[in-house]
Structures are given as structure tokens and as C-alpha cells.
Chains A and B, each alone.
Chain A
Amino acid sequence: MLEIIKELLFGGEPVTEQHGSKSQTPDPAPSHVVELAPLPTPLPMETTTGTPSRSSLQSEAESGGRPHVAQGGGLSQSLSANLKALKQIFGTSADITYRPFVVGGLQLGAALIYLDGMVDGPSINEFVLRPLMQRDQQLLAISQVQTDPLPSGVAVATNPLLLQIQHMLVFNGALAERTLFTQIVDDVLAGLTVLLIDTMDSALAIPLQGYEERSVSEPPTEALVRGPRDGFIESIRINMSLLRRKLKDPNLRMEIVRVGRRTNTEVAICFIQDVANPKLVNEIRTRIKGIDIDGILESGYLEQIIEDHHFSPFPQIQNTERADRAVANLLEGRVVVLVDGTPFCLILPSVFNQFYQAPEDYYERFLIATMIRGIRIISLFFSLTFTSLYVALISFHAEMLPTKFAVAVAGGRAGVPFPSVAEAFFMELSMEILREAALRLPKAIGPTVSIVGALVIGEASVRAGIVSPLMVIVVALTSIGSFAVPSYSAAIALRIVKFPIILAAGTFGLYGVMLAVIGLVVHLASLKSVGVPYLAPFAPMKPEDVKDTIFRLPLWAMTKRPATLRTQDATRQPHAASLLGAENLGIEGESGHGQPER
């Protein structure tokens, strides 16, 4: 006993027959077992992921995204040698915990390796350590091991003794056998608990993660009046379950890819197998797998690497915190990419059209939704061109204004010493500064900014004669317009583009505004998001898709998925017309022939 522990803690003699165990690779196991095996944290959900993810994961793990792990090292049969190797890998990091113990019935040395703070301590004690350490456990002479008490189909481990332990001693739903150091290191880093037992050249990975998570709450960036209140959080597991809860379809696939040499971030590519265009999914998969970077801290990293046009201010990939929005896009045939550690998921492909749409558009009745969408489109154009149109009118085309109004404008501008374009630039710039300051300040000081903004910029600058009152109104409308655009990243793009247009307006009037807008349209027309033209469905025109653009037609009229996405299953409502026959139910009782005859 003591020897064993001593050997454990201080290491034994070097092991020679390290590579003799190579024959025991986990592959010859039955096929559906294989599905479970390579997944680092096999939640039940992932069984639907199917074999593609398995191969992807395997290759990811074996290709060794991690430079500091010994190449291709398999476990040896000596516990102490294994521990030594692991200690070499992890160094003296404070949070790595080695818990040596003796398996009660077997008198074999064993050790648990896990990261402190990433695991659920009480569960480890109760469901792993207690059953293994109990002495009265009448275990398991090596001879007994040959006879397998359970149907082989449920086996994970290939080592017979490990199989026994798995079947009889570790109380956990999903285990995986590990034979490679790289796998073990990945597991430990992912928060799994790894069980190493002396004389065995394979280990068990036990998913008993437990770390602090924010609870599911309403996303602050995408508030709505009517709609579900749940938003994504930082944990990819929870996010996957949020998707699954809304979309109980076996064809929903979530493929895990690990990205980032050092952060080893889990990225889930989610799509509906029989809806999404396989070419689209392949393209996205290829792009994500091609990423070679040290760390992915937010989905924005991923977005910037896989987007089509890096030098465009316009976002070509939509992001959202809302699970319902993600599911709606999955149903349309798009692909959702979840990234561990951030509540923002990516939606690909995205077109310009989507940036003035909000999930609420589909929850409200269609007339209301259409009107609200109209308001958003107007505010989008306001935020882009209103200031520049005003500058153009004031500086070049004053004859267009009605005379009384022109006089009023001239009166307001009488004391202002600067040209209107300078005035507009000054005001727009201070609005941007205000916005940015209000965003960064602690909540407690926030109101100060709005007071300063309202007093100094609104009131005092007009009194001082630097700015005309009308300009304040115009700039305020422009800013409010940009806040009414549902997509934050699109609104920012519009605010950036606004400045050159103001400059064009100040130099060449409406002629300049129009040339700038033409340049913008040409630029937008040249963009693509994962192969889908950015201005679709307007250019190229898809009449079927225009139903859900400026207008939102009634749901019963939108029977098709977006044609732009070329989905495999184009129909959303195969029997939509029959819904309209509801007056035949015979419940209105107004006339006799409504009654169904029996």
C-alpha cells in the first residue's frame, strides 16, 4: 500500500514497454459506441451529432493543435510514468489537481486528474472516489474480468478491467476511454475528470464539470416587447440545449470543432440536415477548420476570419444573443455558429435585408409588423442620409425649400459663423462621442453624460451661436434613426458611411450625395456573404423572397423558405392553403350549412 502511494507521488522507475500497448486503440469497438467515445463531454444531446463530428473531432485532436503536448504519446501501463508525463505537460500550474488513491477491491494505485474550479467536487467525491475506494467492495479478481456481465453494446472501454470499473464502480452517465496524452490533456482542460489506474494503458474521462455560469436571462442588446426572454449565455452546452429545446428535430445537427491553438475553443456548427444547403454547410465547415490562430475569445474573432470581404464596413455575418432568432434562421436554412465563451452566435449567410428585421416582426400580426418595419427602414435611411440632405439643401439648393421655411432657416443660421457642413461635422462628431461615452461609463455616472450632452450640445451651443437649432434637430433625428436599426453592427456601419456622404453633400450638394450613394450601392452590390449576394433578394431579384423584406406578408403567404439560400426542402407550409378553409368548422352557428353533416 504505502509503496504504491510512494511510487505514485515520487515516481517509479522508467517504463520500457511503452509502445507495446499500441494494439489497443479504441477503434474496433461497435459502431454506435464509437459515436460516444471521442466526444470530450458526451452530453446526451451530442449523440445526434453522428459520425461526421466524430471524424472531425478525432482528426482535430490527433493533428495536435497543441504544440506543447508530447507528439502522439500513448499512455504507458505504469501509473507513475503516466503521472510524470502529465506533470511535465501541465507544469506547476496551481489549479491542476492530482488526487492519488487506491482502488479498494483491487489494491491498485489510481489517480484522478482534474482542474480545480472546473469540476463539481462533491460529485467527484460521491460518485467516483467513494465507490472506487470502498474496501468492502468485493471486487474483481483479474480472472473474473474475462466474463463480461453486461451486453457488450454499452461498452466504452476496451480494456476488460477498465470495463469492469466503468460498469460497476463509476456512477456517471457518459464516460470515454482515453489512450493518448493529447486526449487526456484536452479533457482535463475542458473540465473533465480523468481517472488513471495502475497497470492500465488507458484512462477514463468522466464528465463532471462544474463551474460558475451566468443564468439564462434576457439579452440586453436585443430587447423586445413580445417574444421569448431567453438568450444565449457564455456556456456552449447551455446554448446548444437552448437551440435544441426550441427545435426538437432529429435533423438538427451540431458539429463541434475546436478552434484556437491555445484557447482550444469549442465551436458548434449548427444546421438542419435536410434543410440547409450542404454546399453552404461544407463551405462554412471548411472555412472554420482552416482557421489557425492562437485564441478565439469571442465569435467576433471567427467572424473576422471567415467573412468574405474584410475591407467593407458592412457586417456580412449577423450575430445574435437570442435563441429564437437563431432557431428562426436555422429554419430558413441558414447555419448558426455557436462559440464557447460568448453569448453571441453567428448567423451565416446574412444579407443586408436582415439588418432591419427583428424577431418581433414575426410574432406581431403582419400589418403591425409591416408598419414597424417601414419605420425601421425610414430610420435606416435617416441615419444614413438625413444630415447630408440637409447640408446639401442649405448650402446648394435653398430654392427647393418653401420660402417661409427658408427664411426661418436663414434666421436660425444668421449668427452661425461656420458653413453648414462644418456645423454638421461638429454636431455629428459630438453625438458620436456622447454615444461612446454613455456606453463606456459606469451605470452610476451615465446620467451625467446625458445631462452634459443635453445642456452643452443642445442648449449652450445654440445659444453661443456655434450651431443652428435646426441642425441640432437634424442631428438628433439622425442619431435616433441609427438607434432604431435593430442590428448594432449594421447601425455602426451606417454611422461610419454617413460622414463621407456629409462631406460629399457639403462639396457638391445633391449631386455629391447621389454620387456617394451610387458608390455605396455599387459597393453593396459587390459584397457577398458566404456566396450569397448581399443585396438579395432585391439584386438579384427573387420575387418569392421579396415577401419578407420591406413588407412582412402574413405567415400563410410565406410558404417557402428563402430561395436565395437554395435549401434542400424549400417548403415551409406544404398545406398552407387548407388553413384558410377554417370557416368550415361549423362553429360560427350563423348559418345552418356550416354544420358538418354526419
Chain B
Amino acid sequence: MGNQSGEEHGSITPYQLTAIAVGSIIGVGVLAFPRLLVEQAGTAAPLAALLGAIPPALSWVAWVKVGRKFPQQTPAEYVTKLIWPPLAWVYALLGMIFVLIITGLTVREFGAVVKTSVLPNTPIEVSISLLLLAAAYFVRYDLQVFARVYEVFLPLMLAPLTLIGLLSLKNARLVYLMPVITDWLGLLKGIAMASVGYIAFVIGPFLLPSLTRPKEAVKSGLWGIGLSLFVYMLAVTASLAVFGPEELKHVIWPTFELVKTTTVPGFILERLESAFLGIWVAAVFTTVGGTYYALVVTIAQFFKLGDHKTLVLPLIPIIYMIAMGPASIHSLYRVVTFFGLIGVGLVQGTGFLFLLLSVIRKKGAQPGATKA
């Protein structure tokens, strides 16, 4: 209906930004998140999860501040203005490779879950390819469609774990949550680990120029991080309270195990894990879609290719090969942890770095002269 409507411009409402944040962040990572945290922080894991949301939140504020200085541009476009161009090239290439890797690893991680739990006879190659193809179909659309899909799936991210969290109260033991702080170093490691959980929101800074109400960018982004924190907290606290710190370290996907122990009295379905995993496909799909989209958009914008759609299909084999890289689940999680920690620096640290550079080198629109 003409150009008067916000959505027609490829613009994104604050609610959609929140939905994209939640959809990107919540994904397959939730399943292993409690174990990765408890391995580092022990019973301090819930606290670590809580504090772990602070770095990504601060980083988001920094990204928005940088974005205000370049209101019409995405990071892929203004990186060459902030950094000495040859260095910027290296930096951007590293970023692209990193996003490529986390996309592949996310797909692989979920493929492993599917293979282990619900479809033992289906080759992992097939389920990975299916998910990739679905994501590719999705990423080929433009930004409006992208945002709407996240809006539709937002309830699916939040409802299942809330429900599981409530149902698992039956088996919870408060003593497993004590003491709140064991050792400070472990807590710090846990916080670092927890902030890894938010790196999939790489798409965020790229959406800033397309917002209908740029002033609400900080608020709606923080809402997204907050809602994701809620889901993470539920997963960590509930798993820890049900399994206890020692048992939890030996469970690969504690959140998933939590679902298995949950029974719904008087319900038609006796066990919920297949249903949960079915719904969780959507959560993983939105995560993969988010990083995939960020990847193609970065490439298209950095190399000034114009349209991102043509890049989607050629990238499928590359992502697939990365996904099939790790030999076993154990090596997979070593790789995931390694790249996750790099990602904290690359995704969240870059926000601060860019803000610093833009202030020091006085690039972009200065705060006094920002656009209305």
C-alpha cells in the first residue's frame, strides 16, 4: 500500500527487533548451556548466567552509539572509514569467516542432537542438509520477510522452556543451587562462557539503519537480550536444581535431559522430548537464519555487490563442510567453546572498539550534529 508504511521500506519495528534478537540468540546453544556454565562456575552458574548478559548488553549499547554516527550505514560499510582500509579488509574477512564458522557449527550441533535423540537411523548429513536448505530458502527473502518470520516464531522461543521450567519444579532441589558463589575465578570464566550465548545476534548492528524508530533501538535490543537471559536463566537454574552440579557435568545437553525427565500428568503425550525438539527446530532455524543472513549481507555490502540473494546458494556447500568438520561431539564442543570465546571478542568487543575509534578519530556524524 504505497510507501507510507514503515514495513515497505525494508524497515523494522521495535517489536520486530526484539523478536529478531530473541530468535537469533535462543537456539541450540540453550541445550548445552547449563553444562558449559557449570563446568566453569559450578553452583555459581545461575549467577554467572545473570552477569553474563551484561557484556552483550553493554556491547549492544555501544553498537547503537556507533550506528548513530553512521545512520545510513551498516558495520560492513563503515568499517573502512573507522579502520585503516587494508586492516579493515583483514578485519572484515575475519568477521565473515567467523560468522561462517558459527553458522556451520550451529547447524552441526543441532544435527548431533537430532541424530542422538530422535532420528538415530537418519544420517546426520541428511538432517543437516535439510536444515541448511530451509535456512537458505528463508535467507533469500528480503529484510521485511526476515523480520516477520521472527515475529511469528517469538512465542515458540519463549513458551516451551517456560513450561518445562515450571514442570521441572517438581524434581527440583534447592540444595543443588548452593552455594551461590564458589570461587571467583570460576565465576569470571562462567560469565565469559555465558556471554558466548549471545554472539549469534551478529545481525543486530546490521539492522540499525533500517529501524522505523531508531531512538528505541537500545530499548528493544535490550528487551531481546533480557528475554533471552530469562530463557537461559530458566534452563540453567532448572537443570542445576534437578541434576545438581556433579551429575550435570556428565550430561551433554542438560536442558534436553531436563525435558526428558519432565512428565505431564494426565496429558496425552507421555514423553515430551520429541515434541520439544520438534519445536526447537524453529529456534535453531531462526539462529541459523540470523547468522546466515548476517553473513550474506556482510559479504554483499562489504564488496558492494548489491543483492545478497545470489550469494545464498553458493555458500551452502561451504557451511556444510564446516558443519561436517568436527569429528565427534567432543571435538565439536571444543571447537564451539574456542570460537565462542573468540566471538565474544569479535562480536561484542568490536562494538566497543568501533565506538572508541569513532570517538578518537572523530569519524561519522558527531553527537551534537546527529540527525533528528
Contact = CB atoms under 8 A, between A and B. Distances in A.
B270 A396 contact: no
Contacts of B272: 400
A533 interface: yes
B131 A515 contact: yes
A515 B134 contact: yes
A522 B141 contact: yes
A156 B147 CA distance: 58
Given A402-B270, A518-B281, A521-B153, A535 B119 contact: no
Given A283-B1, A566-B5, A397 B118 contact: yes
Interface in B139-184: 141, 144-145, 147-149, 151-153
A404 B285 CA distance: 35
Contacts of A565: 1
Contact of A526 (B8, B122, B141): B141
B1 A530 contact: yes
Q: Name, among B134, B147, B272, the residue most crowded by chain A CB atoms within 10 Å (CB to CB).
A: B134
Interface in A495-551: 508-515, 518-519, 521-522, 525-526, 530-533, 535, 538-541
Interface residues of B, number: 41
A279 B1 contact: yes
Contacts of A538: 151-152
B328 interface: no
Contacts of B5: 531, 566
B148 A540 contact: yes
B282 A518 contact: yes
Given A277-B1, A521-B152, A521-B153, A511 B270 contact: no
A399 interface: yes
B152 A508 contact: no
Contacts of A566: 1, 4-5
A397 B2 CA distance: 48
A401 interface: yes
B173 to A, nearest CB: 27
A539 B2 contact: no
Contacts of B279: 514
Interface string A388-405: 000000001101111101
A509 B115 CA distance: 12
A283 B5 CA distance: 15
Interface string B337-355: 0000000000000000000
B15 interface: yes
Nearest to B120: A396
Given A279-B2, A397-B118, A514 B278 contact: yes
Contacts of B118: 396-397, 509-511
Q: Name, among A280, A521, A538, the residue most crowded by chain B CB atoms within 10 Å (CB to CB).
A: A521
A566 B144 CA distance: 18
B16 A399 contact: no
Given A526-B141, A539-B148, A540-B15, 19 more contacts: A277-B2, A401-B269, A510-B118, A510-B278, A511-B114, A511-B119, A514-B279, A515-B134, A515-B281, A518-B282, A522-B134, A522-B138, A525-B148, A530-B1, A535-B148, A538-B152, A540-B148, A540-B151, A566-B4
8 contacts: A283-B2, A400-B275, A539-B149, A540-B147, A541-B13, A541-B15, A566-B1, A566-B4
Name the 5 nearest CB pairs between A and B, nearest first: A510-B278, A539-B148, A539-B151, A531-B1, A279-B2
